[in-house]
């Protein structure tokens, strides 16, 4: 079996959910000896530790600084077309990690789908058309959740039998015996972007302030935008000089330690294609409060407290339930570690490998 991976995402994303999934998939499939893997990584900007021995052919170099905008897109298009056509035949499966598909595929095409954010939250017509072409071309679509599959079928005329679900995994770095450190103050934790409306960070921030949690806790925000927006700075500055908000960024190892030492992890998003951060928090031994929308309940299950993300009082109630019940928090931590282990990259890769096998019959 031959698989050609279109890794163009590695030229557009240094680190993130999609590039992480692509790396972990190829790493896990590296254990399958009967798959001949070809990777087009192109002019990449990521630092994932790929091993060339995973692949029969590997095409990729670090992106030079001068390659920007149209020049990059032009050369990247030439590169993917050339190297796919070099290997393409009816027995080579093309696996698109980010919606790009060949204009004239010679073999089966697999397309990964992560969410319907563009369609549901004001994406450009060009991007939506780009995705539609991918879905129309695909022989198989891999969705990262049942929720995303359901949304995809609502928004596009796609036969559900063409779509299979393969859940992402939790990386090993988040499983371990973490040392609890003593910080100046306990903290509640938020991970991710803050300036996208669907992330719903404003609701969390306003609830944190309205309920005066800042008198007892810091609010730690990890990742996302490098700087706080002007509106967030203005809100925070009004209360206790904003000394209770801490902005952090860095490696997965650093994030794991931050999860492990948080009093509570809060995930207020209005929409996610899947939502790995709650599972990462669980793996690190942190209780979780998360939205009851889209795919998030698929990840959290019954080992976190779910709330209505449009209801600040519901969020506050769930926070206070955990803060006021140490036995419940302990129970959620124990069950969370078990649940997080159910989502592994090996399980994802096994599901996708079985899907590849069905394409051999096309």
Task: For 260-292, write each residue's pLDDT tens digit.
Answer: 999 999 999 999 999 999 999 999 999 999 999
Check if the beta carbon of residue 305 is closer than 8 Å to that of residue 312. Answer: no
Which pLDDT does position 233 carry in this prediction?
85
Task: For 154-173, write each residue's pLDDT tens digit.
Answer: 999 999 999 999 999 999 99
Per-residue pLDDT at 182 exceeds 80: no
Compute the C-alpha angle 314/214/188, nearest 5°: 65
Per-residue pLDDT at 21 exceeds 70: yes
Q: What is the helix, strand, coil percentage profile of the chain, to 5?
A: 45, 15, 40
Across residues 64-93, what is the average pLDDT? 93
Which pLDDT does position 183 carry in this prediction?
65
Which pLDDT does position 33 carry in this prediction?
67
13, 84, 95, 98 from 78: Cα distances, Å:
20, 10, 18, 17
Check if the beta carbon of residue 247 is closer than 8 Å to that of residue 227. Answer: no
Which pLDDT does position 236 carry in this prediction?
85
Which pLDDT does position 357 carry in this prediction?
92
Per-residue pLDDT at 191 exceeds 90: yes
Per-residue pLDDT at 213 exceeds 70: yes
Across residues 345-361, what is the average pLDDT? 91
φ/ψ of residue 53, rounded to 5: -70, -10
Across residues 198-220, what is the average pLDDT? 95
Which pLDDT does position 62 carry in this prediction?
95
Which pLDDT does position 361 carry in this prediction?
58
Tell me how far apart the alpha carbons of residues 66 and 79 are, in angstroms, rounded to a whole number: 17
Tell me how far apart the alpha carbons of residues 90 and 102 are, in angstroms, rounded to a whole number: 13
| Residue of 57, 59, 19, 26 lying closest to 43 (CA atoms) | 59
DSSP secondary structure code for residue 305 in this structure? E
Per-residue pLDDT at 65 exceeds 90: no
Q: For residue 355, what pLDDT band results from cuts at 50, 70 and 90?
A: very high
Which pLDDT does position 287 carry in this prediction?
98
Which pLDDT does position 78 carry in this prediction?
95
Residues near 144 by beta carbon (within 8 Å), at least 6 away in sequence: 21, 112, 113, 114, 115, 165, 166, 167, 168, 273, 274, 295
Per-residue pLDDT at 87 exceeds 80: yes
Class of domain 172-341 (CATH, top level): alpha beta
Structure tokens, 41 = 């990584």
Topology of domain 2-169+344-359 in CATH is: Rossmann fold (3.40.50)
Which pLDDT does position 32 carry in this prediction?
66
Q: Give the whole-number percent of the chain exceeding pLDDT 70.
A: 98
Task: For 100-152, write each residue's pLDDT tens digit.
Answer: 999 999 999 999 999 999 999 988 999 999 999 999 999 999 999 999 999 99
Check if the beta carbon of residue 353 is closer than 8 Å to that of residue 3. Answer: no
Check if the beta carbon of residue 226 is closer than 8 Å to that of residue 295. Answer: no
Per-residue pLDDT at 327 exceeds 80: yes
Per-residue pLDDT at 41 exceeds 80: yes
88, 141, 206, 218, 240 from 212: Cα distances, Å:
61, 46, 10, 11, 10
Which pLDDT does position 102 carry in this prediction?
96
Across residues 236-262, what is the average pLDDT? 88
Domain boundaries, given as residue ranges, for the chain = 2-169+344-359, 172-341
Tell me how far apart the alpha carbons of residues 252 and 23 are, in angstroms, rounded to a whole number: 15
Per-residue pLDDT at 223 exceeds 60: yes
Which pLDDT does position 23 carry in this prediction?
96
Per-residue pLDDT at 362 exceeds 60: no
Across residues 168-182, what is the average pLDDT? 86
Tell me how far apart the alpha carbons of residues 74 and 80 are, in angstroms, rounded to a whole number: 10
Compute the C-alpha angle 4/8/10, nearest 5°: 115
- CA torsion 340-346-351-352 (nearest 10°) is 120
Residues near 5 by beta carbon (within 8 Å), at least 6 away in sequence: 22, 26, 37, 38, 39, 40, 95, 97
Residues near 169 by beta carbon (within 8 Å), at least 6 away in sequence: 24, 343, 344, 345, 346, 347, 348
Query: Across the chain, what does the average pLDDT equal?
Result: 93
Length of the chain: 362
């Amino acid at each position: 079996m031959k698989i050609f991976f279109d890794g163009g995402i590695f030229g557009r994303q240094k680190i993130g959910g999609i590039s992480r999934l692509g790396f972990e998939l190829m790493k896990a499939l590296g254990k399958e000896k009967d798959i001949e893997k070809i990777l087009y990584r192109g002019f990449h900007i990521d630092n994932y530790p790929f091993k060339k021995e995973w692949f029969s052919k590997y095409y990729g170099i670090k992106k030079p600084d001068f390659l920007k905008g149209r020049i990059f897109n032009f050369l990247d298009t030439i590169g993917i077309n050339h190297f796919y056509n070099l290997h393409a035949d009816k027995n080579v499966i093309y696996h698109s990690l980010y919606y790009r598909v060949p204009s004239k595929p010679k073999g089966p095409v697999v397309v990964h789908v992560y969410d319907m954010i563009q369609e549901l939250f004001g994406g450009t017509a060009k991007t939506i058309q780009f995705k539609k072409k991918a879905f129309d071309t695909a022989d198989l679509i891999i969705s990262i959740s049942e929720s995303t599959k359901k949304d995809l079928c609502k928004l596009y005329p796609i036969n559900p039998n063409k779509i299979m679900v393969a859940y992402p995994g939790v990386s090993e770095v988040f499983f371990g015996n973490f040392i609890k450190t003593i910080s100046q103050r306990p903290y509640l934790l938020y991970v991710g972007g803050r300036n996208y409306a669907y992330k719903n960070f404003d609701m969390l921030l306003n609830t944190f302030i309205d309920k005066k949690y800042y008198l007892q806790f810091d609010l730690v925000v990890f990742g996302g935008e490098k700087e706080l927006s002007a509106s967030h700075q203005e809100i925070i500055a009004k209360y206790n000089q904003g000394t209770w908000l801490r902005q952090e960024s860095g490696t997965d190892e650093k994030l794991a330690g931050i999860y492990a030492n948080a009093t509570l992890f809060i995930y207020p998003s209005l929409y996610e294609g899947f939502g790995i951060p709650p599972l990462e928090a669980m793996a690190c031994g942190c209780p979780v409060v998360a939205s009851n929308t889209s795919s998030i309940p698929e990840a959290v299950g019954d080992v976190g407290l779910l709330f209505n993300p449009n209801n600040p009082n519901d969020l506050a109630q769930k926070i206070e339930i955990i803060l006021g019940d140490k036995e419940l928090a302990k129970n959620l931590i124990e069950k969370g570690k078990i649940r997080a282990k159910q989502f592994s990259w090996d399980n994802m890769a096994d599901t996708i490998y079985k899907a590849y096998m069905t394409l051999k019959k096309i």
